[in-house]
């Protein structure tokens, strides 16, 4: 059996769900545009540059979850899915996921974006396993802090290992191990699998992938 891991933002999605969630909250008046938009853009640029402080970013990104009830958050997320996420899902991405699932692979999304935002997106793809940054809860309410190690850079490997161990599995126990990603931030996990695939990669990953002979593909919907 193969293990097939997918990054989410700018890989399976034609866009970034983390960035878009904050922009959505600004658009519906939950967050103040003047205060939040510039910081959201700055964090996104730091992510692309490879300079993001994940803990500083999570303090920013998870704080709104702690201010509202889960019922209200779920209602906003349903609107977010309709308006922002579904237009970012192309048929090539759905088809690639379905192909690996049809071949009997164990398929998971591995993403630094928190599981509140990404859980419904994984379900939209029909993917039952999600390895993500986990927002901490207390008595059913989000605290605004992460629980455990963020699934970011080398943290993705640790979180994948822990997920597999919870099922009595390990990375070396699969016939082939795939990871699809767009980002140079994911180099630690890309370098740890047998089949690294660069998907619509950023310039740094595109250059490295071509130097190393890794496949470079696109999942963008044809115009």
Which residues are part of the catalytic machinery? 7, 9
Q: What are 34-38's contacts with CB under 8 Å, separation 24+? A: none
Neighbours of 151 (CB within 10 A): 28
> What's CA 144's distance to the chain center, in Å?
19
Q: How far apart are CA 8 and CA 11, in angstroms?
A: 5
Among 203, 171, 209, 172, residue whose Cα is nearest residue 187: 209
- Half-sphere CA count of 139, side-chain side, radius 13 A: 0
Among 223, 222, 221, residue whose Cα is nearest residue 94: 221
Q: How far apart are CA 197 and CA 190, in angstroms?
A: 8
Beta strands in 118-176 (DSSP E): 129-138, 141-147
How does 171-206 read in b/e, with b if 16+ C-beta sit within 10 Å? beebeebbbbbbbbbbbebbebbebbbbbbbbeebb
């Amino acid at each position: 059996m193969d293990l097939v891991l997918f990054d989410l933002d700018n890989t399976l999605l034609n866009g970034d769900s983390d960035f878009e969630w904050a922009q959505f909250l600004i658009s519906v008046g939950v967050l103040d545009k003047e205060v939040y938009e510039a910081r959201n853009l700055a964090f996104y640029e730091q992510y692309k540059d490879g300079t993001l402080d994940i803990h500083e970013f999570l303090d920013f990104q998870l704080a709104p979850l702690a201010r509202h009830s889960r019922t209200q958050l779920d209602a906003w997320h349903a609107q977010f899915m309709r308006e922002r996420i579904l237009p970012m899902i192309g048929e090539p991405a759905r088809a690639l996921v379905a192909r690996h699932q049809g071949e009997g692979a164990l398929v998971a999304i591995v993403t630094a974006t928190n599981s509140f935002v990404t859980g419904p997106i994984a379900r939209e793809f029909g993917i039952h396993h999600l390895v993500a940054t986990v927002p901490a809860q207390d008595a059913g309410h989000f605290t605004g802090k992460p629980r455990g190690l963020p699934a970011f850079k080398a943290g993705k490997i640790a979180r994948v290992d822990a997920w597999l161990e919870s099922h009595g599995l390990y990375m070396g126990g699969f016939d082939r191990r795939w990871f699809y990603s767009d980002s140079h931030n994911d180099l630690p996990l890309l370098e740890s699998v047998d089949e690294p695939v660069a998907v619509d990669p950023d310039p740094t990953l595109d250059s490295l992938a071509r130097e190393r002979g890794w496949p470079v593909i696109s999942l963008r919907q044809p115009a």
